[in-house]
Amino acid sequence: MMNTLRKMMVREGIDVFGTSDVTGYVPDQFASTPYAVTLGVRLSDAVMQDVVHGPTKIYFHHYRTANAFLDMCALKCVIYLGRHGYNAVAIPASQTTNSAATAGDFSHKTAANLSGLGFIGKSGLFVTEQYGPRVRFATVLTDHKLHGKGIQTSRCGDCTLCMRACPCGAIIGSHWTQNSARDDIVDAALCREHMKEKYAMIGRGAVCGICAAVCPYGKSRNSY
Ligand code: SF4
Ligand code: SF4
């Protein structure tokens, strides 16, 4: 059944598909759906190459369209699982729900990492094997039993490109481990404030993308 779902999602246009057991990681409200399907769509290299010095209007549009597409695919996933007798809930591709507006109901990165799709870079972005950080994600939580094989360590090595490129110094430069808190890796509030202040004319200051654009993983499809 999951193989059929995977094929269906690939036919829809999904580039990255993974499954994982997220028991212990989901908040109480989702305790009855402790397994995850991760859906990812890669961002266009033609768009990303122009973001190296800052976001562009076309990047914002692309980012928003990719998120809407992911939300539609996640809904199709929920419908498919429902028709096979399983409960499922789609976590939106891009919706912040905490008071600081820096996190959603559940971390796509956690599910993607536990699926074995990649690791979290010094940028705090999820770095996939095939497309580096040039990927947007959505997650479907379900009670259909699933498993995955997580990636335990950072593969950034000595690279500090994202840290040096960040215009506001929000990237701390630490190597991620599965025990890292986000604050150990990136100052999300500083990043958000910088975007609001400097890029208000592009997507009302909600995107930047420099750290994703400069990462060697994903650039020219370098894989690790
Ligand atoms: S999105 Fe921009 S401001 Fe935020 S951490 Fe990345 S480079 Fe820095
Ligand atoms: S730019 Fe370098 S340090 Fe930053 S996430 Fe990519 S590989 Fe890691």
Looking from the CA of residue 214, the nearest atom of ligand 2 is 1
Q: Which of 129, 151, 160, 161 to mutate to test the pocket of ligand 2 (most atoms within 8 A of CB)?
A: 161
| Cα Rg of the chain (Å, integer) | 17
Q: What is the pLDDT of residue 181?
A: 87
- Residue 196 banded pLDDT, cuts 50, 70, 90: very high
pTM for this model (two decimals): 0.92
Looking from the CA of residue 171, the nearest atom of ligand 2 is 4
- Residue 68 banded pLDDT, cuts 50, 70, 90: very high
**pLDDT per residue over 24-50, tens digit each?**
999 999 999 999 999 999 999 999 999
**pLDDT per residue over 80-100, tens digit each?**
999 999 999 999 998 766 655
The overall average pLDDT reported for the chain is 92
| Any ligand 2 atom below 6 A from CB of 185 | no
- How many angstroms separate the CA atoms of 120 and 97, rounded? 21
**pLDDT per residue over 133-185, tens digit each?**
999 999 999 999 999 888 878 999 999 999 999 999 999 999 998 888 888 99
Looking from the CA of residue 169, the nearest atom of ligand 1 is 8
Domain ranges of the chain: 2-221
